[in-house]
Amino acid sequence: MTANLEALEQAYRRNGSLYARAMDANEPDLLDGVMTADAVIESPGAVMDGIAAIRACPGMLREMFQSTQHLVHNQTVEQLSDTEARGETYCTASHILPPSGEGQPYSALVWAIRYQDQLRLVDGVWKIAKRALVLDWTETRPVDFSGRQGA
């Protein structure tokens, strides 16, 4: 493995972890180090165009769900040129929904995701320029969420 590919893989892993933290902890400032200014995220039913739109996502998730947790799994990345690469990240994203009625449990809407990314080297830093969210499947299940409410 060349030093360049190793550095790219490390940067891509870090991008995946920081993206997940930004979304789950409502820390949109982290996204500036992960995404290019002109980045685009395409997901089922939505397109976020530019870093300002992408920075709004953590707050939007916070409004929609009690909590979220993105778990980053395997990643592959391929360097196409000195400044461009493509990668794929497998992720499980859990979204906690409030009870549907009195006496009902919280539920987790779980997405099995593959992020298909185009990366660009910007001022010596690998960033995601385009992210396509591929939703492989979903599941919904009851969960005990009593220990984390309001966090």
Counting every residue written for the chain, the total comes to: 151
Do 135 and 146 touch, CB atoms closer than 8 A? no
Q: What is the pTM of this model?
A: 0.92
> What share of the chain has pLDDT > 70, as a percent?
95
Q: Is the pLDDT score of 146 beyond 80?
A: no
Q: Is 123 exposed, middle or buried (0-12, 13-18, 19+ CB in 10 A)?
A: exposed
Task: For 39-81, write each residue's pLDDT tens digit.
Answer: 999 999 999 999 999 999 999 999 999 999 999 999 999 999 9
H or E stretch including 117? strand 106-122
Per the structure block, which two tokens stand in for 62? 């916070």
Indicate the average pLDDT of the chain: 94
Q: Which CATH code of 3.90.230.10, 3.30.1370.10, 3.10.450.50, 3.20.20.70 fits the domain covering 3-143?
A: 3.10.450.50
Query: Which residues on adjacent β-strands are paired with residue 133?
Result: 115
The residues near 71 (Cβ < 8 Å, ≥ 6 apart) are 20, 91, 92, 93, 94
